[in-house]
Structure 1
Amino acid sequence: MRVLMFGWEFPPHIAGGLGTACYGLTRGLAKLGVKVIFVVPKAYGDEDQRFLQIRNASEVEAPYGTLETEEDLWKQLTFIRINSNMVPYLSPEEYANEWNEFRHEKRPGIPQDIWKQRYNFSGKYGANLMEEVARYAMVAAQVAKEMEGQFDVIHAHDWLTYYAGIAAKRVSGKPLVVHMHATEFDRSGENINTVVYNIERTGMAAADRVMAVSNLTRNIVIEKYGIAPDKVVTVHNGVRFKAHEGPEEERGVDDKIVTFLGRITYQKGPDYFVEAAAKVLKRLPNVRFVMAGSGDMLNHVVRRVAKLGISDRFHFTGFLKGDEVRRMFELSDVYIMPSVSEPFGISPLEAMKSNVPVIISKQSGVAEVLTHAVKVDYWDVDAMADAIYSLVTYPALHNMFITKGQEEVTTLKWDNAARHVLDVYKAVTE
Structure 2
Amino acid sequence: MKALMLGWEFPPHILGGLGTASYGLTKGMAKQEDMEILFVVPKPWGDEDQSFLKIIGCNNTPIVWRDVSRETVKARLEKFMNPEEYFWMRDNIYANFNYMNTNDLGCLEFSGRYPSNILEETNNYSIVTGVIARTYQYDIIHAHDWLTYSAGLHAKNVSGKPLVIHVHATEYDRSRGKPNPIVYGIEKNGMDHCNHIICVSNLTRKTVIENYHQPEWKVSTVHNAVEPLSPEIEAIERLSGVKEKVITFLGRITMQKGPEFFVDAATQVLKRTKHIRFVMAGSGDMMNQMIRLVADRGIADRFHFTGFLRGKQVYEMLKSSDVFVMPSVSEPFGISPLEAMQCGVPSIISNQSGCAEILNNVIKTDYWDVDAMADAMYSICTYPGMAEYLKEEGKREVDGIVWEDAGKKVRAIYDRLV
2:239–2:316: 8 Å Cα contact kept in structure 1? no
SS of equivalent to 1:122: coil
2:228–2:399: 8 Å Cα contact kept in structure 1? no
1:111 to partner: Cα distance: 11
State the match for 1:168 in structure 2.
Answer: 155
SS of equivalent to 1:113: coil
State the match for 2:248 in structure 1.
Answer: 259
| 1:312 equivalenced with 2:313 (yes/no) | no
| 1:228 equivalenced with 2:229 (yes/no) | no
Q: Where in structure 2 are the equivalents of 1:4-403 lying within 5 Å?
A: 4-33=4-33, 34-63=35-64, 66=93, 112-114=99-101, 117-147=106-136, 150-242=137-229, 244-246=233-235, 248-403=237-392
TM (normalized to structure 1)?
Answer: 0.87
Letter in 2 for 1:343: P
Q: Distance in 2 between matches of 1:238 and 1:146?
A: 32
1:63 to partner: Cα distance: 4.0
TM (normalized to structure 2)?
Answer: 0.90
The count of aligned residue pairs is 387
Q: Distance in 1 between matches of 2:224 and 2:234?
A: 24
1:250 to partner: Cα distance: 2.8
Letter in 1 for 2:160: G
SS of equivalent to 2:166: strand
Structure 1, unaligned runs of 5 or more: 71-109
Q: Distance in 1 between matches of 2:198 and 2:125?
A: 21
Q: Distance in 1 between matches of 2:200 and 2:234?
A: 30
1:284 to partner: Cα distance: 1.2
State the match for 2:2 in structure 1.
Answer: 2
1:205 to partner: Cα distance: 1.0
1:259–1:290: 8 Å Cα contact kept in structure 2? yes
Q: Distance in 1 between matches of 2:193 and 2:269?
A: 49
SS of equivalent to 1:151: coil
1:241–1:350: 8 Å Cα contact kept in structure 2? no
1:114–1:131: 8 Å Cα contact kept in structure 2? no
Letter in 2 for 1:301: M
State the match for 2:411 in structure 1.
Answer: 422
Tell me the percent identity: 53
Letter in 2 for 1:398: A
Letter in 2 for 1:61: P
1:245 to partner: Cα distance: 3.1
Q: Distance in 1 between matches of 2:188 and 2:309?
A: 32
Letter in 1 for 2:156: K
How far does the alpha carbon of each residue in 1:302-332 deviate from its partner, in whole angstroms, 9 at most, with x for none? 1110011000000000000111001001100
Q: Distance in 1 between matches of 2:146 and 2:101?
A: 20
Q: Distance in 1 between matches of 2:148 and 2:19?
A: 13
Q: Distance in 1 between matches of 2:23 and 2:242?
A: 36
Structure 2, unaligned runs of 5 or more: 66-91
SS of equivalent to 1:179: strand
2:62–2:93: 8 Å Cα contact kept in structure 1? no
Larger displacement relative to structure 2 (29-38 or 271-280): 29-38
Q: Distance in 2 between matches of 1:111 and 1:343?
A: 41
1:192 to partner: Cα distance: 1.1
Letter in 2 for 1:282: K
State the match for 1:76 in structure 2.
Answer: none
Letter in 2 for 1:193: N
1:63–1:115: 8 Å Cα contact kept in structure 2? yes
